[in-house]
Structure 1
Amino acid sequence: MPHATRARIAALTAGCALLAGCSSGAPPGEDAPTPHGYVEGAEETAEAQLRLVMADTETGAVHMLDPVTEETVEVAQFEGAQAMDTDGRFVYIGGASSTEVLDSGVWTVDHGDHVHYYRTEPRTVGGIDGSGFAPIGDPAVTVLNSAAHVIALDRESLEAGEAGASDELDAEAVLPYGRRLLAVDGGAVRVLGRDGSLESELDATCAEPQGQTVTRRGAVFGCRDGAVLITGDDELTAETIPYPGAGVDGGFHHRPGTAAPAARSETGGILVLDIKERRWTEIPVQGVVAVTATGEDSPVLVLTDDGVLRSYDPASGAELARLALMTITDGGTPAIQVDTARAYVNDPAGAAVYEIDYRDDLRLARTFEVDFRPDLMVETGW
């Protein structure tokens, strides 16, 4: 990695970079002690403040839906939106050649033995060159991976409302993991310090990385021949879990943090990785529009092009339930977003969002009708 890139990463990750959950801002009074977890300008809440962020690609309007109050508000306007993703707080709205960043104003800080939930006003942050990014973040940095670029964004700058503190990384794919960066380049899997310096090279190869994610049981790179799983704390180890046949096509999808990511396979079906057991389950479903895993020993959800939502057992691949939801037409990108209790599916043509109890045979819990096309959707606040 060039010296300039190393220096830039060091600048991006200075200060609170090595802390698992640092707070920012000054205490509420000159003489008062700083409350644990205090964040200037944010309200700490007793429970997660989950929001659904949606974009109408025709009008460029971006809306946020609060599932608790059922209220929807317009929060931004981004013309030319084509794709949307999130790191849990910030939303990355991709256009033809650039990406706009929106602070959803809701997030979670996990200290391991306890969790803090925060809420503040949503706001636009700025633009980034490039598009098609898949973001993965931690308290210090969010890494944006795409086929053309890998970019690191300084979280402290993002939280201050600035997207300018960024740097393009010299690698094919990068993950923030365990206070380090994991980088794949030229088939090698390297461990970098947060200053970009090379710490070690792991005993694994990853040709043609297809997707990457971080779970509670380790970091995963999807590669040409299998998934490279990286585990450990101070000392990291890597192992390859070979595909049962065809490999993954695109990124992994799962409830944040959980350790059973799912992906489309190159044959059009679904692959589910059981990290604990170090094995894949192949599910031969066709016409996949969207897929996500809800957790270990919890259903895998698949939306197919006939508008039917299906759930599958992640170990056996057996179908558990199905629910006819919508008519899928050209335009818009239906997605499945999941949290600990519910799944949400956007219906662009029907101007609706469906709330599904995925633990109760895909019971339709609520339908949120909206007065715009929810063409793109992510869930934030985790």
Structure 2
Amino acid sequence: MTTFFRYGGTALTAAFATLATACAGTTGAEESTYPATPVPATEVSSAQPRLTLTYDGGVLVADEGDLAVVDEFELDGFNRLSPAGDGRHVLISTDGGFRVLDTGSWTEAHGDHDHHYAGSPTLTALKFDAEKPGHAVAHAGVTALFDDGTGRIDVFDPAGLESATELPPLDSYTLAEAHHGLAVPVPGGGMLVTLGDSDKRTGVALLDKSGAEIVRTEDCPGIHGATVAADGVVVFGCEDGTVIFRKGSFEKASAPDPYGRIGNQSGTVNSPVVLGDYKTDPDAELERPERIALVDTRTASVRLVDLGTSYTFRSLGRGPHGEALVLGTDGDLRIIDPETGELVRRIPVTEPWIEPDDWQSPRPALEVHDTTAFVIDPATNSLHAVDVVSGEIRSAELPYTPNEISSVA
């Protein structure tokens, strides 16, 4: 199969091997108190980072400091959130593509200091077309969008999102078959893409910037999800552990069970250990695991930690020093030492809850920025900010039942 794509502004042709990939209701809101007229962004004295949250029928933007809702935008459908990679914009996976939301707040580095700006958020008219928008991954200075409906991967420089009228130039790749997958850009212009077809997913391949395959592994059944750890190591989840990509080659980190699925991972550049979920029943319609996986990328080993409570795919995060954070269904936020697996601290945040049967249904979710763990609680329509160091909690009520949460920082 011959695929045409543009890279670095040059039209290129490449022959690809067969590549395929893996991958609430609302409450009555008060009349809006947000500014009727958008406020232009101006320089402010300190950073004002913002959160984006979805609800059934739209998107909220909230201030990370006082947790107040800054603005809301109506948007039908089940919408998903991904940071665009520039510390300012959010990509909303919605009907027909990836919609661009400008949070209206950002920071620019200037020598030995920063300049901070804040204004009104904007749900722009900009949209990256996709038949079935899936994963958006920002890495190595660019962002890769994966279209599950066509197998097309669009790569762009997120700095180009500063224009409110046109999308940045795209470098587009089309894989041999459409599937639920993802692509992770790597330094030098290449990317990692998962392998498989509509029936199964088997592994991952490294492509150079022309689209030519350099190396692959097919030792990752059911591949799903990826994250980045210290030293630029990329980790992919498998049904029998993980695959670790380091300096141009792959290494297997096997699970201790024949079926040990690590489908969702949380990594940080501050730790060589990746936090993952861990499931052992291949036939379960909904497995509620009580163990997590700690994958040491230095030794390609998997350590299991028993939490004593279940959790979901939205329960994982990392602290400012690489701490492994897990929000349990008992309502407690657990802070775990990733090197030893020891529990450092438990912070009660919500009342106990039960994971819903439908993965799209709202449930408590965790998002971490610096020293603060943000938790949404659909049962009370609340947003909580937990200081990971002191344990102090700030809370605010939301006008709608939240589902997903994302920080752009």
Query: What TM-score, normalized by structure 2, do the two folds share?
Result: 0.70
- Are 1:170 and 2:175 matched, yes or no? yes
Report whether the alignment pairs 1:65 with 2:62: yes
Q: Take 1:357 and 1:81, find their aligned partners in 2: how far apart are those partners?
A: 30
Please name the residue that 1:355 is paired with: 385
Verify: 1:247 aligned to 2:260, yes or no: yes
Match for 1:274 among 279, 285, 296?
296
State the distance in 2 between where 1:54 and 1:277 align. Answer: 37
Q: Is 1:190 paired with 2:170?
A: no
Matches within 5 A, 1:51-62: 51-57=50-56, 59-60=57-58, 62=59
Displacement after TM superposition at 1:82 (Å):
3.9
Aligned to 1:160: 163
Q: Go from structure 1 to structure 2 and tell me whether the alpha carbon gap of 1:76 and 1:278 turns closer, same or farther (over 3 Å shift).
A: same
* Identity score, percent: 23
Aligned letter for 2:194? V
Q: Deviations over 1:216-240 (max 9, x none)?
A: 32122223443222223xxx23322
Helix, strand or coil at the partner of 2:91 = strand
Distance (whole Å) between structure 2 residues aligned to residue 292 and residue 118 of structure 1: 29
Q: Please name the residue that 1:231 is paired with.
A: 246
Amino acid at match of 1:173: L
Unaligned runs of 5+ in 1: 15-40
**Offset from partner CA, 1:325-369 (integer Å, 9 cap, x none):** 224476424221112211110112212211112234xx1331123
d(CA) in 2 for partners of 1:110, 1:242:
42
Q: For residues 2 and 42 of structure 1, do their structure 2 counterparts lie closer, same or farther at Cα, with a shift above 3 Å needed?
A: farther
Give the match's secondary structure for 1:158: helix
RMSD of aligned residue pairs (Cα, Å) = 3.8
The reply on whether 1:373 has 2:370 as its aligned counterpart is no
Q: Distance in 2 between matches of 1:116 and 1:325?
A: 33
1:296-315 matched pairs, under 5 angstroms: 298-315=322-339
Q: Is the 8 A contact 2:106 2:118 kept in 1?
A: no
* Structure-2 separation of matches of 1:141 and 1:213: 15
Measured in 1, the distance between the counterparts of 2:104 and 2:213 equals: 35
User: How many angstroms does 1:295 deviate by?
Assistant: 5.2
**Alignment counterpart, residue 219 of structure 1, candidates 234, 245, 249:** 234
> In the alignment, residue 306 of structure 2 is paired with which amino acid?
P
- AA aligned opposite 1:283: V
Partners of 1:219 and 1:143 in 2: how far apart? 15
CA distance in 2, matches of 1:249, 1:131: 24
| Per-residue deviation, 1:275 | 2.2
Give the conservation status (yes or no) of the 8 Å contact 2:54–2:79.
Answer: no
**SS of equivalent residue, structure 1 residue 346:** strand
Go from structure 1 to structure 2 and tell me whether the alpha carbon gap of 1:351 and 1:219 turns closer, same or farther (over 3 Å shift): same
Render the CA deviation track for 1:113-152: whole Å, top value 9, x for unaligned: 9896764653334334345623211475312347654532
Cα distance in 2 for partners of 1:76, 1:173 equals 28
Cα distance between partner residues in 2 of 1:109 and 1:231: 31
Aligned partners of 1:261 and 1:293 also within 8 Å = no
**In the alignment, is the contact (CA less than 8 A) between 1:297 and 1:315 conserved in 2?**
no
Change in Cα spacing, 1:305 to 1:203, as seen in structure 2 (3 Å) is closer
Instruction: Tell me, yes or no, if the aligned pair for 2:374 and 2:384 is still in contact at 8 Å.
Output: yes
| Contact 1:254/1:261 (8 A) holds in 2 | yes
> Relative to 1, partners in 2 of residues 1:48 and 1:259: Cα closer, same or farther, differing over 3 Å?
farther
Contact map agreement 1:302 1:311 (CA 8 A) in 2: yes
Q: Rate the CA distance shift 1:239–1:152 in 2: closer, same or farther, 3 A.
A: same
2:401 alignment partner AA: R
Conserved in 1, the CA contact under 8 Å of 2:228 and 2:268?
no
- Cα deviation 1:220-272 (Å, max 9, x = unaligned): 2223443222223xxx2332222232433433224577543322112323212
SS of aligned partner of 2:302? strand
1:176 Cα deviation from its structure 2 partner: 0.6
- Find the aligned partners of 1:13 and 1:357 in 2 and give their Cα distance: 49
Whether the 8 Å CA contact 1:259–1:295 is kept in 2: the answer is no
**1:26 paired residue number:** none
- 1:157 Cα deviation from its structure 2 partner: 4.7
Does the Cα contact within 8 Å between 1:337 and 1:343 map onto a contact in 2?
yes
What is the SS of the residue equivalent to 1:343? strand
For the pair 1:81 / 2:78, whether they are aligned, the reply is: yes
**Matched positions, count:** 344
Query: 2-side partners of 1:43 and 1:138: how far apart?
Result: 29
Secondary structure of residue in 2 paired with 1:79: coil
Paired residue for 1:28? none
Could you list the per-position Cα deviations for residues 278-311 of structure 1 after superposition, in whole angstroms to 9, with x for gaps in the alignment?
Answer: 3222123342133324259743222223333223
Distance 1:99 1:206 in 2: 28
Per the normalisation by structure 1, the TM-score is 0.74
In the other structure, the counterpart of 1:35 is: none
